Chains A and B, each alone.
Chain A
């Protein structure tokens, strides 16, 4: 059990910032991001210690995080889910003043624009440009072909540019 604990402890250290940032960019509230992120890792730990075979812990955690955010919005009644591909996430009103202090205005604009993207475009953009995740890994998480992921990246970036220009 100690060995498993140590392994998961390393996984935690490796992914905590990435998962937190992934969740935060979707919920735009530090408190909610902290709450959801700790629940992600709690759930991950429960699965890990039950000695389920988890080949890619990062992908596993991202999947939990993604579902956790969907459940969060479903409970809050902010989104009407028709299909998993078309979930627009509306961030909590008001940017975190802490971020406004540390992020430059351009970056803040990009952050707000990302929150207006479709869920799938948000995911691929964050994973590819922020977390430097390989396309193959993204394809496994989203259960889509790699070609589709590349197209989503291109379209996501284009839509993001459009949102920024409109604002």
Chain B
């Protein structure tokens, strides 16, 4: 290779480029603080406006009031309908979130299930926002996903501590959380709720220890004994989630 060819080859290294999704995501992370403040300001103004409309409807005549109420009802229905397609960062997203929460209250369901469903919805919102390249929505979507993940992990910790669920159910719920995290990682997004995850780990540790003791007391095949060794290693390294998954496999 002569000098000219070498220089040409060096110049061809400009084919090395970063991933477009990562470029968008990294930019949004840098400006996250400022965008969050703008979103908060927008929802505050929206709340003020709805208060003004309430006062106005009271002051009109009854017939006019009836027409106004009917129109308002249609508008609200339209807003709620439209709000279902919004994502974090959109003006009407708070309407969507309120609808989801009220549905939860009316249909019942336990706290853990609701937290996990909420987390799932926020993750899908974030995935959609990144794929559609909606730059201005990314910071809010990330915040919402992080908050919902923290909520899900917290609910799970409570369930583990209060022993509300059996080990299989716990492992399945943890798996759902991890799968969502993986899905986001494929898009170059890493959300972690470090404090909450640590609390969950602290709750899982005695559970895993107890399961290991139970497994050691029963008679196992050679292969299962090997697997116990793997589980113990995971436990010693503080990888309680992975240990739990292995315990589930051995128990089935």
Contact = CB atoms under 8 A, between A and B. Distances in A.
A29 interface: no
A106 B13 CA distance: 10
Given A41-B26, A129-B11, A130-B11, A157 B18 contact: no
Contacts of A8: 30
Interface string B13-45: 111111100110011011100100000000000
B16 A16 contact: no
A110 B56 CA distance: 73
A164 B1 CA distance: 8
A149 B13 CA distance: 21
A9 B31 contact: yes
Given A1-B34, A38-B29, A102 B6 contact: no
Given A102-B15, A157-B3, A125 B27 contact: no
B218 interface: no
Interface string A115-153: 000000000011001100000000000000000000000
Contacts of B188: 34
Interface in A3-38: 5, 8-9, 12, 16-17, 20-21, 24-25, 30, 33-34, 37-38
Contacts of B7: 129, 157
A161 interface: yes
Contacts of A106: 1, 5, 9
Nearest to A39: B26
Contacts of B18: 16-17, 20-21, 33-34, 37
Contacts of B10: 110, 114, 125, 129-130
Contact of A130 (B5, B14, B30): B14
A104 interface: yes
A126 B14 CA distance: 10
A21 B26 contact: no
Contact of B6 (A24, A38, A157): A157
Contacts of B23: 16
A154 to B, nearest CB: 10
Contacts, number: 87
Contacts of A114: 10, 13
Given A157-B3, A157-B6, A164-B1, A107 B15 contact: yes
Interface string A30-58: 10011001100110010000000000000
Contacts of A20: 16-18
B11 to A, nearest CB: 6
Contacts of A9: 27, 31
Nearest to B23: A16
Given A106-B1, A129-B7, A21 B13 contact: yes
29 contacts: A16-B18, A17-B17, A17-B18, A20-B16, A20-B17, A20-B18, A21-B18, A34-B18, A34-B22, A34-B188, A37-B18, A37-B26, A38-B29, A42-B29, A45-B30, A103-B12, A103-B13, A103-B15, A103-B16, A106-B5, A106-B9, A110-B6, A111-B13, A125-B10, A130-B10, A157-B3, A157-B6, A161-B6, A164-B6
Return the 9 tightest CB-CB contacts between A and B, nearest first. Answer: A20-B18, A38-B26, A110-B9, A129-B10, A107-B12, A45-B30, A21-B16, A107-B9, A106-B9
